[in-house]
């Protein structure tokens, strides 16, 4: 059995073929999926998927790179977290990717709105006890620093969570692990260019590994460039197993148990 710990089934390109995707998941033995919220505007839709399907769960949060959307208050996140089958806060974090090109020439100092949004999510996670789903892109130093500033040190009082779709360095992986976070690997692991990432994949302890699709994006080889969906997560498990000297099925069982451990408050 396999678990897709991060997917966007509410996105139109997947929602429109949900019945086929569910059949493909069953055929591929993908028995669980976590549907990720990226705006408060689509939270009801994401949560609806979790309520409608016994093997799905939801998060509540606003993606760090989303602008022109409803800004979540702490109370918004607390209210969302109180709903049944909501198991995490996020997708949250920081994204400084190509600021000068994609964000009109802005600098790190101009991204204070992202950092404040991130702090709101961290506070919601700590108040509810739910883990966070962390997105960090070209912003790892600030991501780690803000987590620490808000009290996330990997102790019993920390909310913790997962660094999803991990593509950062070994140093960042170690920092995340030191704070008690899990590391989730996506189809990027199967790309020929992911040499350094494969070293990280071999390093992460057994009890901190998760796998995901981040679908509809980042389809693994042999589907790279095509529409991704949760039924493809076994391809991530296959390569991860090859790197760690175990079977794909073993990775599926291991990462499923890790998923249940991380989201143990409600994902049972």
Flag whether 246 is in a domain: no
Flag whether 244 is in a domain: no
Flag whether 159 is in a domain: yes
pTM to 2 decimals?
A: 0.96
pLDDT for residue 100: 63
Q: Count Cα neighbours of 5 within 13 Å in the Cβ-side half-sphere.
A: 36
pLDDT for residue 105: 75
Q: How many domains does the chain have?
A: 1
What lies within 8 Å, CB to CB, of 15 at 6+ separation is 9
Query: Per the structure block, which two tokens stand in for 96?
Result: 């400084």
Flag whether 178 is in a domain: yes
Domain span including residue 51: 2-239+252-262
DSSP 43-110: HHHHHHHHHH-TTEEEEE---TT--SSPPPPHHHHHHHHTSTTEEEEEEEEEE-TTHHHHTTT--GGG
Flag whether 247 is in a domain: no
pLDDT for residue 266: 52
Rounded Cα distance between 257 and 268, Å, is: 10
Rounded Cα distance between 84 and 68, Å, is: 28
3-state class percentages of the chain: helix first, strand second, coil last, to nearest 5: 45, 15, 35
Flag whether 182 is in a domain: yes
No. of helices (H) and no. of strands (E), the chain: 11, 8
Flag whether 179 is in a domain: yes
pLDDT for residue 267: 47
The secondary element (H helix, E strand) that includes residue 262 is helix 248-262
What lies within 8 Å, CB to CB, of 68 at 6+ separation is none
Query: Per the structure block, which two tokens stand in for 42?
Result: 């689509």
204 burial via Cβ count (<10 Å: 0-12, 13-18, 19+): buried
Flag whether 34 is in a domain: yes
CATH code for the domain of 76: 3.20.20.140
**Listing from the earlier edge strand, what are the strands of the sheet with 161-163?**
2-7, 30-35, 56-60, 86-95, 132-137, 161-163, 182-185, 209-211
**Regions of the chain with pLDDT less than 50:** 267-268
């Amino acid at each position: 059995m396999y678990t897709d710990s991060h997917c966007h089934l509410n996105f139109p390109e997947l929602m429109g073929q949900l019945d086929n995707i569910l059949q493909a998941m069953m055929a591929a033995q993908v028995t669980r999926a976590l549907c990720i919220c990226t705006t408060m505007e689509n939270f009801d839709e994401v949560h609806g998927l979790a309520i409608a399907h016994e093997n799905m769960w939801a998060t509540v949060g606003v993606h760090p790179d989303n602008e022109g959307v409803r800004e979540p208050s702490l109370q918004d996140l607390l209210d969302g977290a109180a709903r049944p089958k909501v198991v995490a806060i996020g997708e949250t974090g920081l994204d400084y990717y190509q600021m000068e090109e994609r964000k009109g020439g802005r600098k790190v100092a101009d991204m204070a709105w992202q950092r404040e949004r991130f702090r709101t999510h961290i506070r919601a996670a700590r108040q509810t006890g739910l883990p966070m789903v962390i997105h960090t892109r070209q912003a790892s130093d600030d991501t780690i620093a803000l987590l620490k500033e808000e009290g996330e040190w990997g102790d019993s009082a920390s909310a913790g969570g997962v660094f999803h779709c991990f593509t950062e360095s070994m140093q960042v992986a170690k920092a995340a692990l030191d704070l008690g976070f899990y590391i989730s690997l996506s189809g990027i692991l199967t790309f020929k260019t992911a040499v350094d990432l494969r070293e990280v994949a071999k390093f992460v302890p057994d009890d901190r590994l998760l796998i995901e699709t981040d679908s509809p994006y980042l389809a693994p080889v042999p589907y790279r460039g095509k529409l991704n969906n949760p039924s493809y997560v076994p391809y991530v498990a296959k390569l991860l197993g090859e790197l760690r000297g175990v079977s794909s099925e073993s990775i599926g069982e291991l990462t499923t148990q890790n998923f249940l451990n991380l989201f143990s408050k409600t994902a049972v």
